[in-house]
Structure 1
Amino acid sequence: MFRRAFWFTTGAAAGVWATTKVQRKLRSLAPDALAVRAAGKAVEGGHRLKDFALDVRAGMAQRESELNSALGLDAPPGPPPGPPLGHVEAPGLPGQAPRPQLGPAHHRQGTERPHDRNEDH
């Protein structure tokens, strides 16, 4: 009698355990659960990508400072050199060469090009 009760209880426990396992698996494969899991993975991947980008930026800044040190570009800039004594600047922006006068548009285009720019191509 105890033997039958033991096996009956063991079978019932195994059935409950198997049913619970199957129900959990079915719930994890439901569309809404899959969507939640995919969204979580996407967010996790985004965080990894952000961390990678920050590491790359930090490495770039470090390498740039190393190169600036090696080339002597990290020294503070001195005052800009002024024009030599007796130098007279042309009208316009400082240090800018005067622009040549080009004339009307048809002289710049040449004779073989049409003058109407609104023409369909």
Structure 2
Amino acid sequence: MIRRLFYLSLGAFLALWAVRKLQAMRPDHVARRAADGAVDLLGELRAFAGEALELAAKRETELRAEYGLDTVGRPEHTFDR
């Protein structure tokens, strides 16, 4: 009797677990997770790009101060197309 009750409860648990896993794989859930992941990735990329641009500007300022360059001169010749 105890063995039957154990296997009945084990079967109920496994059935509930399988149903929840299958519901998590529904297309709308998968699409939502993919969209959330893309939004998170885009935010991280924006933060990285902002930090990289800030560091590049800082380094450019340091190099200009080191070599005494106040402004960048225009090229004396231009290429006509």
Supply the distance in 2 between the matched residues of 1:37 and 1:48 (Cα, whole angstroms): 17
Q: Which residue among 12, 22, 27 is the counterpart of 2:23?
A: 27
* 1:29 positional shift: 0.9
Question: Who is 2:58 aligned against?
Answer: 62
* TM-score normalised by L of structure 1: 0.53
- Give the alignment's Cα RMSD to 1 decimal: 1.3
Which residue of the other structure, out of 4, 7, 11, is the alignment partner of 2:3? 7
Structure with larger Rg: 1
Number of residue equivalences: 70
Identical amino acids, percent of aligned pairs: 33
C-alpha distance in structure 2 between counterparts of 1:65 and 1:17, whole Å: 64
C-alpha deviations, 1:63-95, integer Å up to 9, x for none?
111111111236xxxxxxxxxxxxxxxxxxxxx
Post-superposition offset of 1:61: 1.3
Q: Which runs of 4+ in 1 moved over 2 A?
A: none
Question: Which of the two has greater helix per residue?
Answer: 2
Q: Which runs of 5+ in 2 are unaligned?
A: 71-81
- Per-residue deviation, 1:8: 1.8
Q: Are 2:39 and 1:43 aligned?
A: yes
- Unaligned runs of 5+ residues in structure 1 are 75-121
Whole-Å separation in 1 of the counterparts to 2:59 and 2:8: 67
Higher relative contact order structure (alpha carbons within 8 Å, sequence separation ≥ 6)? 2
